[in-house]
Structure 1
Amino acid sequence: MNAVEIEEAVSELAAAPFDGGEFPFAFLAAFGNRPVTIQRLRAGSGNASDVEGGVLQRNNIHMSVCAPGAVSQTLSALRASPKTAANKVKFVLATDGVTLEAEELGSGEVLACGYPEFADHFGFFLPLAGISTVKQIKDNPVDIKATGRLNKLYVELLRDNPDWAAPERRHDLNHFMARLIFCLFAEDTGIFLGTRLFSATVEQMSDRQSGNTHEVIAELFRAMNTKIKDREASNFRPWADALPYVNGGLFSGDTDVPRFSRIARNYLLHIGSLDWTKIN
């Protein structure tokens, strides 16, 4: 698994209802462990833990799901366990489903966060998948999230609009994606006035089944290509008129927009929920 795939798997795990019995195995699966490896740990033959409720994977991680409020105490027990040192563990992790604490033993770096937020720190654990972490990923995991979600949106749009996959139209799709990225960045950095002006308008004005998402986006693009003094004669929908004119030519020319399936619309809204001020 690559970093994008791991981020997606960890995000799904963090968003799902917490299951203490399954968490250690789901966590390992999210970092690319094979089913046969996880099955051995479940059966106990590959689990060398000496901590109650613990799961230890040699050369990787020693973790435990603990009673409510006992996270710090359990992390200390994992760190002090003779099995942790004997099995050359890189990480210890404890969670009660409310908070999560972990430590990279080699560096002494510690992670402490609410359980639902641990997906935002997936870069901390990438060595578990054999991926050497770099400071940029640890400090800016939202870059990986954005990359993964934009890629999924791109693939879904091609699936729904096969004509856009033709060589003569691929530039159009790339141009469309550039316009989207600008809008998402602009609404989070103050270029657009208002909170999530672009993505919130798409969410509010498009059908949940996505029958008209392309029409809503096209109208927003048309507004951004029209100077304020020319708006009155252009018969804009009121919700589109709130968007500013964007000079520089990004929105000039054809405002054709690919059709969005319900899945593609959801990808776009998820992308819009990211904090684009943190994306490089």
Structure 2
Amino acid sequence: MNAVEIEQAVSELAEQPFDAAEFPYAFLMAFGNKDTTIKRLRTGASNKSDLGGVLQTNNIHLATCAPGDIAATLTALRDSPATTRAKSKFILATDGIDLEAEDITTGETIACRYTDFPDHSGFFLQLADISMVKQIRERAFDIRATSRLNRLYVELIKDNPDWGSADKRYDMNHFMARLIFCFFAEDTDIFVSDNLFTATID
């Protein structure tokens, strides 16, 4: 999976009702883990968490918790001997309302509303063996925007199959470029009225 595909999968996860028992597995699947890997974690064959969470060796130790217990859970994950033994790169705790995570190696942290964690998908790209640099993490919003435009393009082609033909490709690309400009113009106040473009297409 590439960064855009991961962002899309993470966004879809965040849009679903929070399921504390399923979240750790769904999160790992969003970063490209195969069904066989998830099955081994579910059965405990490769899950060595000592806190009732999910621990993937050399990757992440994550746990869900009761509302308001995120800080304590994150501390427990950080102090867990299993986290150290498994050489986890990340720890993550969420109660379905908020989410906090830490990069064990660098000490960098994120804390956000649960529904906003797709904005931080770049923080976890190492889980998908995507080498991380600071610039990529900071461009998570660009990754998300690209994902959204890709989804829009796919939906437009799905509803209008003839738009995907070779003779229509130039017009379609031109149309998408105009959309991008309109989104940009609205965000940067080039348009004189607030939300002029959004209100027009809404």
**Would the TM-score normalized by the shorter structure come out above 0.5?**
yes
Q: What's the offset of the Cα at 1:78?
A: 0.8
Q: Give the structure 2 partner of residue 73 of structure 1.
A: 72
Partner of 1:171: 170
> Could you tell me whether the CA contact under 8 Å between 1:137 and 1:143 is conserved in 2?
no
The answer to whether the aligner puts 1:194 opposite 2:201 as a matched pair is: no
Describe the shift of the 1:119–1:165 C-alpha distance in structure 2 as closer, same or farther (beyond 3 A): closer
Q: How many residues are aligned here?
A: 202
Alignment of 1:254-265 (within 5 A): none
Change (3 A) 1:43 1:192: same
**2:115 and 2:156 mapped to 1: Cα distance?**
30
Letter in 2 for 1:3: A
Query: Is the counterpart of residue 58 in structure 1 residue 49 in structure 2?
Result: no
Cα distance in 2, alignment partners of residues 101 and 22 from structure 1:
17
Question: Residue in 2 aligned with 1:9?
Answer: 9
Extract unaligned runs of 5+ from structure 1.
204-280
> Partners of 1:19 and 1:160 in 2: how far apart?
32
The more displaced of 134-143 and 31-40 is 134-143
User: Can you give the 5+ residue segments of structure 2 that lack an aligned partner in the other structure?
Assistant: none
- Residues in 2 aligned to 1:122 and 1:8: alpha-carbon distance in whole angstroms: 10
Do 1:188 and 1:195's aligned partners in 2 also have CA atoms closer than 8 Å? no
What is the one-letter code of the residue matched to 1:43? T
CA contact (8 A) 1:31 1:129 kept: yes
User: Residues of 2 paired with 1:14 and 1:156: CA distance?
Assistant: 20
Q: Could you give the per-residue CA deviations for residues 127-173 of structure 1, whole angstroms, max 9, x where no partner exists?
A: 01111123233223121111112122223333443443343332111
Indicate how the Cα distance of structure 1 residues 182 and 91 shifts in structure 2: closer, same or farther if over 3 A, else same. same
Measured at CA, do residues 159 and 67 of structure 1 come closer, stay the same or move farther in structure 2, by a change above 3 Å? closer
Does the residue aligned with 1:149 lie in a helix, a strand or coil? helix
The equivalent residue for 1:252 is none
Per-residue deviation at 1:200?
1.9
Using the aligned pairs only, state the percent identity: 63
TM-score by length of 2: 0.94
SS at match of 1:125: helix
User: How many angstroms apart in 2 are the aligned matches of 1:68 and 1:144?
Assistant: 30
Cα deviation 1:200-229 (Å, max 9, x = unaligned): 2111xxxxxxxxxxxxxxxxxxxxxxxxxx
Runs of 4+ residues over 6 Å off in structure 1: none
Give how far 1:195 is off. Answer: 2.2
Aligned to 1:137: 136
**Is the aligned partner of 1:122 residue 2:121?**
yes
RMSD over aligned CA atoms reads: 1.4
Corresponding residue of 1:37 = 37
CA distance in 1, matches of 2:55, 2:158: 42
- Which of structures 1 and 2 has the bigger CA Rg? 1
Distance 1:118 1:156 in 2: 24
